[in-house]
């Protein structure tokens, strides 16, 4: 190749690279293999996800059953970014408002994810009827009947109705049961059984739901519904005083996510470690402290989660220090005296950090009160 052609070749390669960089926007996360970078995800069908690798390329397709999740580049800006920021700060109602605004965008994913994220935020805020209405945008009616997330949306709609003690949840269960007899099969039946668990607890908070919960056979790679149901199940077992069942559920979730990095989400790992530490606090405080301190080293987590983890870890460290200090031989052992002082100092550091948090959780005030008792 003669030198006079090199500038033209360089310009051509630069133009191609620029188009390629510009195009790598959305990310498709398959059940196996690396994420797929796409210029644009065109649509998420029940059977196939359609996307373009570059602005000029023909449409490509991937079986929907092979897709775990999709991250749209537009979620890093505008109303969606505002919504996620509110969620991180624990402002769930504000997050729902932002996501509802994001749903007004012109693309399919704006409307679908805006409705689903708003519904999730509303459920977190305890506004179950409003959450059900938001999930229904995708979960029922003809507009998104062929969407990949239709089944999950219907499940969340029915679950929110059950939490609201609305008998309309039975209608969603019936619809999912009918779907389970056709092509969809077990995934629909698993979601119907999950809603039946919520209905049983709505009727009687002390109801035994272990057997029914085992029939809610959601798979870990059905990440959204699987995580949502098992998180609720853990909270339900805790409320019923069934610490062993709650711990077993959390351990199962952590194990599933740690085995498959494609499913692991940093924020969810923080949530699970906080749950695990809280459950361990009563019977195994030393293990609980180690679990809670891991959260400080993790890059994710909300303000509320960080505050609660620091408060509980500080409280447990202080209790350990007091217990050791009360032992008759501690005062005569310089190493033990130094260790107690170190434990107290670490406990105060954690408690003061929790007290300085912007969280509105009770843990913030409790941490401030406990820190004030320390010299």
CA distance 347 to 331: 20
Predicted confidence (pLDDT) at residue 20 exceeds the cutoff of 70: no
Q: What is the pLDDT of residues 251-262, one digit of tens each?
A: 998 888 888 766
Confidence of residue 215 (pLDDT cuts 50, 70, 90): very high
Residue whose structure tokens are 């505002």? 82
Q: What is the pLDDT of residues 71-80, one digit of tens each?
A: 898 888 899 9
* Per-residue model confidence (pLDDT) at position 5: 37
Specify whether the CB–CB gap between 160 and 132 falls below 8 A: yes
CA distance 8 to 272: 55
Confidence of residue 142 (pLDDT cuts 50, 70, 90): confident
Predicted confidence (pLDDT) at residue 15 exceeds the cutoff of 50: no
Q: Tell the burial category of 54 from Cβ atoms under 10 Å away from its Cβ (0-12, 13-18, 19+).
A: middle
Confidence of residue 295 (pLDDT cuts 50, 70, 90): confident
* Per-residue model confidence (pLDDT) at position 264: 64
CA-angle at 212, arms to 210 and 214, nearest 5°: 70
* Per-residue model confidence (pLDDT) at position 261: 66
Confidence of residue 186 (pLDDT cuts 50, 70, 90): confident
Tokens at residue 39, please? 């210029």
Confidence of residue 299 (pLDDT cuts 50, 70, 90): low
Predicted confidence (pLDDT) at residue 8 exceeds the cutoff of 80: no
Predicted confidence (pLDDT) at residue 13 exceeds the cutoff of 70: no
Most confident of 10-14, 57-61, 280-284: 57-61
Confidence of residue 183 (pLDDT cuts 50, 70, 90): confident
Q: What is the pLDDT of residues 314-363, one digit of tens each?
A: 999 999 889 888 888 888 888 888 888 898 999 998 999 999 988 888 89
Q: What is the pLDDT of residues 55-103, one digit of tens each?
A: 888 889 989 888 888 889 888 889 999 999 888 878 899 999 999 999 9
* Per-residue model confidence (pLDDT) at position 185: 83
Pair type for strands 40-44 and 36-38: unpaired
Predicted confidence (pLDDT) at residue 181 exceeds the cutoff of 60: yes
Phi, psi of 216 (to 5 degrees): -85, 70
* Per-residue model confidence (pLDDT) at position 272: 86
In this predicted structure, which of 157-171, 191-205, 264-278, 303-317 has the lowest mean pLDDT?
264-278
Q: Tell the burial category of 329 from Cβ atoms under 10 Å away from its Cβ (0-12, 13-18, 19+).
A: exposed
CA distance 132 to 157: 4
Specify whether the CB–CB gap between 32 and 263 falls below 8 A: no
Predicted confidence (pLDDT) at residue 25 exceeds the cutoff of 90: no
* Per-residue model confidence (pLDDT) at position 2: 38
Predicted confidence (pLDDT) at residue 274 exceeds the cutoff of 90: no
Q: Could you tell me what percent of the chain has a pLDDT over 90? A: 41
How many CB atoms are closer than 10 A to CB 79? 20
Per residue, the 3-state secondary structure of the chain, as one string, reads CCHHHHHHHHHHHHHHHHHHHHHCCEEEEECCCCCEEECEEEEEECCEEEEECCCCCCCEEEEHHHEEEEECHHHHCHHHHHHHHHHHCCCHHHHHHHHHHHCCCCCHHHHHHHHHHHHHHHHHCCCHHHHHHHHHHHHCCCCCCCECCHHHHHHHHHHHHHHCCCCCHHHHHHHHHHHHCCCCCHHHHHHHHHHHHHHHHHHCCCCCCHHHHHCCCCCCCCHHHHHHHHHHHHHHHHHCCCHHHHHHHHHHHHHHHHHCCCCCCHHHHHHHHHHHHHHHCCCCHHHHHHHHHHHHHCCCCCHHHHHHHHHHHHHHHHHHHHHHHCCCCHHHCHHHHHHHHHHHHHHHHHHHHHHCCCCCCHHHHHHHHHHHCCC
For residue 331, the number of C-alpha atoms closer than 13 Å in the C-beta half-sphere is 3
* Per-residue model confidence (pLDDT) at position 1: 39
* Per-residue model confidence (pLDDT) at position 6: 38
């Amino acid at each position: 190749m003669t030198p006079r052609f090199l500038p033209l070749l360089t310009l051509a390669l630069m133009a191609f690279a620029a188009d390629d960089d510009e195009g790598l926007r959305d990310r498709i996360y398959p059940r196996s293999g690396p994420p797929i970078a796409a210029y644009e995800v065109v649509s998420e069908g029940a059977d196939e996800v359609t996307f373009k690798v570059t602005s000029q390329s023909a449409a490509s397709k991937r079986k929907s059953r092979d897709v775990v999740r999709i991250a749209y580049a537009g979620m890093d800006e505008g109303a969606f970014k505002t919504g996620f920021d509110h969620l991180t700060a624990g402002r769930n109602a504000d997050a729902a408002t932002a996501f509802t605004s994001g749903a007004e965008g012109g693309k399919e994913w704006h409307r679908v994810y805006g409705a689903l994220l708003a519904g999730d935020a509303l459920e977190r805020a305890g506004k179950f009827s409003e959450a059900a209405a938001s999930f229904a945008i995708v979960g029922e009616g003809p507009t998104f009947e062929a969407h990949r997330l239709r089944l999950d949306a219907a499940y969340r709609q029915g679950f929110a109705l059950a939490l609201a003690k609305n008998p309309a949840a039975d209608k969603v269960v019936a619809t999912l049961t009918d779907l389970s007899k056709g092509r969809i099969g077990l995934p629909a039946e698993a979601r119907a059984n999950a809603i039946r668990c919520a209905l049983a607890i709505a009727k009687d908070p002390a109801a035994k739901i272990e057997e029914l919960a085992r029939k809610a056979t959601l798979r870990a790679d059905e990440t959204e519904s699987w995580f949502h149901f098992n998180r609720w199940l853990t909270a339900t077992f805790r409320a019923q005083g069934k610490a062993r069942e709650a711990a077993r559920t959390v351990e199962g979730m952590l194990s599933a996510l740690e085995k498959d990095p494609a499913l692991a989400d940093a924020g969810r790992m923080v949530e699970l470690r906080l749950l695990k530490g809280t459950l361990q606090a009563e019977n195994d405080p030393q293990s609980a402290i180690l679990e809670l301190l891991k959260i400080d080293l993790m890059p994710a987590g909300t303000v509320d989660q960080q505050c609660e983890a620091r408060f509980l870890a500080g409280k447990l460290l202080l209790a350990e220090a007091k217990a050791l200090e009360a032992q008759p031989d501690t005062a005569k052992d310089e190493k033990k005296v130094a260790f107690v002082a170190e434990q107290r100092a670490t406990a105060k550091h954690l408690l003061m950090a929790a007290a300085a948090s912007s969280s509105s959780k009770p843990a913030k005030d409790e941490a401030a009160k406990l820190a004030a008792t320390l010299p």
